[in-house]
Amino acid sequence: MRVCREAVLSLAVVAVMASPASGQMRGGLLGGATLSKPSGDFVVESEWALGWTAGAYLELLYTERVSFVLELNYVTKGGEGVSVNQQSFDLTVGYVELPLMANYNASFGEKWGGGFYGGLLYGTSGTCDVSINGSNVDCSTGLSQRRAEWAIPVGGRLNYSVSTGSDLLLDVRFVFPLTDAFEEQSFKILAFQFMGRWSASL
């Protein structure tokens, strides 16, 4: 975890101290769906489940091709499965997430563009709902204490510039977790995110 914290801090310092060649800062809103499932030693089998995400972000254009993005999102993820002790469960965890990412941007014409990105993500759990063998139980009792989330988000996006000076974007990412979701059970929550974005110059 020390390596993750140092990497996040390093990216943050680069983004803050950068002197952007384009001199442009953008901000926007995002929202969409998540597709996630638990995976790990504690889980014998699991199924993908739908959730949702919403948030806001700032983007610093460092060069014409490179930008840094800092997001603040609320994300729900989880899924159904069977544990190693043969108990069925249905889990939904809500996270407040802070992803920090570096983007490579490309232009496909006057209006269209896109690119790909990667970075690091820190999240803290907000809500937690779980049912075990069909009965709702407290997450701390049924599983254990929740853990802070460290993950690597990687993805791509397609953007279209509208006449008002703002951009509309489609964004697809995979979030690979580095930490287990709970203190005592060994499993992580894999997640895809499918988002729509709106951004404008600040």
Q: Say how far apart CA 106 and CA 129 lie, in whole Å.
A: 41
Which pLDDT score is estimated for 44? 94
pLDDT for res 5: 52
Q: CA triplet 27, 61, 73: central angle to 5 degrees?
A: 40
Return averaged pLDDT per consecutive 10 residues of the chain, 202 residues in all: 49 50 82 97 95 97 93 96 93 96 92 96 93 91 90 97 90 97 93 97 88
DSSP 173: E
CATH class of the domain defined by 2-201: mainly beta
The pLDDT of residue 116: 97
pLDDT for res 54 = 98
Backbone angles phi, psi at 22, to 5 degrees: -85, -15
Tell me the whole-structure pTM to 2 decimals: 0.85
Annotated domain spans of the chain:
2-201
pLDDT of residue 23: 57
